[in-house]
Amino acid sequence: MRVEAGIFVMCLVGTGCVAGPEKGESEVPVDLTESADVDPNGKFDPIDGDDTIDTIDAVTDPVDVRPKPKPQPAGWVMDCVSDFVSHNGNYYSATVIETAAGSEVEISLHRLAIAQATGFGGEEQQPASSEIVWSDVVESRLVDGFFGFETPDMFLVAQATERRGLFTGSIGGESEMHVHVPIGVTCWSAEFELPATYDPATGGCVDDSGQPSRNDVPFVFARHTGFGQCSTFEGQLNEEAFGYPSFIDLDLRGSDLNAAALNFAHFIDVDLRGADLSNFSFGYSTVRGQVDDNTKLPADMWCSGAVDGDAFNCTQ
C-alpha cells in the first residue's frame, strides 16, 4: 500500500473496492458487505494458500539500506489515513495537492491482502488492492493547528498533536460512496520528520550525525507507507480487523513491539532486524520476516525452529 502522487486516498479493507466516478460523473456506491466468516483451525500460509509455511531466502546484501518513504510531489500538502472500517482491514487514504486551481483531493478505498475464507486455515490469498473512489478540487484549510475540508458528500477535520506535523481527527460522509459515520483519521504534513535509521552495527537507531534517535511513527503511517523504522508501537496493531488481514513488506527495523499485539492477522515479509519483540503478543497469526543478532524474539512463542539464519517464520 502506498500513497500515489497527487492522491488523497481513503481505504476500506476486507471488502471489494469500487472505482468511483470521474469528475462530473454520477457517484457509484461502494458495497460494504463483509466477507464470509473465518475458521481459525489448521495452518495458514498467507502467500501460497497451501498447508505448508514457506521459508524466506536469506538476504545476501549486508548493506541493504532501505530508503525512507519517497519524496512527495510538488504542491503536496497532507496525507491522511483512516482507521480500519471493516473486520478485514479496509481503510481510506487521502492526499492533498495544492494546484493552481486549488486543493486537489483524491480519495481511495484500500484493501489489505486477506485469506479469502478461513484465514488461519490456509485458504487462497485475496490480493491487496486500491481504487480511487472520489477526486475533485476542494477548498481545504490548514489554520491554527487545524486541517480539514468539507464537500456536500464528505468531511475531514484533524487537529495538530504535540508531534510536529502530525494531526489526528475524523472523516465521514453522507453519500453511499463514503463512510456514513465518522471514523478516526491520522494525517501528516511535510513538517513530520523521520530523523532515525536503524544501525546494525550497534543494534540501535541513530540520526544523520550518529546520535541515538527515534522516529516513533504511528502504526497507521507504517501500515500505509511501509516505513516504521525506529518506532514504538502499542496496542492491537490490526485494531478490530480480525478477518486475517496481512501486513506485507513493512520495514520495522529497530522498532519496539513490547506493548503491541497482533491477533487474527499476519506479518508477512516484515523486516524485524533490531526489533524488540520480547513481549510481543500474537495469536492465530503468522509472523514471517527477516531478523538479525540484534532482534529480541518473543519469549512465549510456541514455534520451534522458527529461526533459520536471518529468516524468522512462526505461526501460532
Question: Per-residue pLDDT tens for 79-93?
Answer: 999 999 888 888 999
Looking up cell 520476516 gives 289
**pTM (predicted TM-score):** 0.76
Structure confidence at residue 124 (pLDDT): 57
Nearest residue to 92 (alpha-carbon basis) of 146, 160, 170, 21: 170
Which 3 state secondary structure label does DSSP give 150? strand
Which 3 state secondary structure label does DSSP give 120? helix
Average model confidence (pLDDT) across the chain: 77
Decide if pLDDT at 155 tops 90: no
Looking up cell 548493506 gives 63
Alpha helices in the chain (DSSP H): 219-225
Q: Which residues are within 8 A (CB) of 83 and not within 5 positions of it... i.e. 6 or more apart?
A: 91, 183, 184, 185, 220, 239
The grid cell for 278 is 520480547
Are the C-beta atoms of residues 59 and 310 closer than 8 Å to each other? yes
Position 176 confidence tier, pLDDT thresholds 50, 70, 90: low
Decide if pLDDT at 21 tops 50: no
Percent residues over pLDDT 70 in the chain: 72
Q: Where are the domains of the chain?
A: 9-63+71-188, 197-315
Percent residues over pLDDT 90 in the chain: 45
Are the C-beta atoms of residues 312 and 290 closer than 8 Å to each other? yes
